[in-house]
Amino acid sequence: MSEIRIENLRKVYDVPRGKEVAVEGSTLTVPDGDFLTLLGPSGCGKSTTLRCIAGLENQTGGNIYYDEDEVSDRLAQERDISMVFQEIALYPHMQCIDNIAYPLKVRGVPKGERYERAREVAATLEVEELVEKYPAELSGGQRQRIAIARAIVREPRAFLMDEPMTGLDEKLKVRMRKELKRVVEETGQTVIYVTHSQEEAMMLSDWIAVMSDGEIEQYGTPNEVYREP
Ligand code: ADP
Ligand code: ADP
């Protein structure tokens, strides 16, 4: 089975007054190609979990596996993930096409090939006609699409998103959710997504992990988690 798995993940921060337990023994599995959402209120440990999976944070305890490989000691850049945050950071001095192609450039993909691939992904996100522009010339939703294109251009093992819809207006959120769902289905990309919106989680996910106070309270399909009593 191809999957990403976390076992008994625990993260304790040192804070001035002692210890802050952010994640208290989470266990989760995401089969390849599936969409998992970490859902819960602010401060429940969603971002910390995501950052540990990405390797941006060292866990205090527990293990993270990609298939049979334990990756806890691997640096973020060795884990083959890409991440989109709520504060989108496109390179402002680069045209969108160069933004999208940049992760391929870093990996030494030849120029012709990387622009071809970048245009292909731009087409999937329906932003082909915007790629000659600079980020500052785009709307929030358009920038979001470019950011997603850049994140998936090299087909990472996992695509992690932390509240990516924050800052978009309600109408755009609904559109971007549909877009994201379509793109994820088309590309078969494995996604781990963080949100505090139950509605968003219900619409997007194959699996939902409901977090509260650093623990996973419920884990299942949207229907299992929110079935009528
Ligand atoms: P969420 O993403 O669900 O809002 P976080 O994972 O950001 O939750 O935070 C979980 C808990 O850990 C919170 O109590 C938060 O204050 C604390 N926390 C998060 N990051 C740090 C940090 N770098 N240092 C100390 N405490 C932190
Ligand atoms: P090439 O000619 O091989 O495509 P360039 O050096 O001309 O490479 O860069 C292509 C694009 O990538 C340009 O838009 C450039 O601004 C951008 N770029 C190159 N290196 C960096 C970097 N270290 N950080 C951000 N952008 C970069």
> Residue 193 has what pLDDT?
97
> Residue 173 has what pLDDT?
87
54 Cα to the center of ligand 2, angstroms:
25
DSSP class of residue 130? G
Give me the interface pTM, i.e. the ipTM.
0.71
**How many of the other CB atoms lie within 10 Å of CB of 11?**
22
Ligand 1 atom nearest 14 alpha carbon: 25
pLDDT at 188 over 70: yes
Q: What residues pair up with 82 in beta bridges, in sequence order?
A: 159
Backbone angles phi, psi at 185, to 5 degrees: -65, -40
Q: CA-to-CA distance for 100 and 97, rounded, in angstroms?
A: 5
pLDDT at 127 over 90: yes
106 Cα to the center of ligand 1, angstroms:
31
Question: Higher-confidence residue: 169 or 95?
Answer: 95
> Which whole number is the average pLDDT over 34-62?
95
Q: CA-to-CA distance for 83 and 224, rounded, in angstroms?
A: 28
Ligand 2 atom nearest 95 alpha carbon: 14
* Residue 1 pLDDT level (bands cut at 50, 70, 90): low
> Residue 73 has what pLDDT?
85
> Residue 228 has what pLDDT?
66
Looking at all shown ligands, the one closest to residue 103's CA atom is: 2
Ligand 2 atom nearest 93 alpha carbon: 16
Ligand 1 atom nearest 23 alpha carbon: 10
Q: Is the CB of 42 under 6 A from ligand 1?
A: yes
Q: Is the CB of 132 under 6 A from ligand 2?
A: no
pLDDT at 30 over 70: yes
Average pLDDT over the chain, rounded to an integer? 92
103 Cα to the center of ligand 1, angstroms:
29
> Residue 118 has what pLDDT?
97
3-state helix, strand, coil in the chain (%, to 5): 35, 30, 35
H or E element in which residue 149 lies: helix 140-152
Q: Are 62 and 25 in contact (CB under 8 A)?
A: yes
52 Cα to the center of ligand 2, angstroms:
30
> Which whole number is the average pLDDT over 74-85?
86
Residue nearest to atom 3 of ligand 2 (CA): 111
Q: Are 219 and 207 in contact (CB under 8 A)?
A: yes
Measure the CA angle with vertex 62, ends 57 and 67; round to 5°: 90
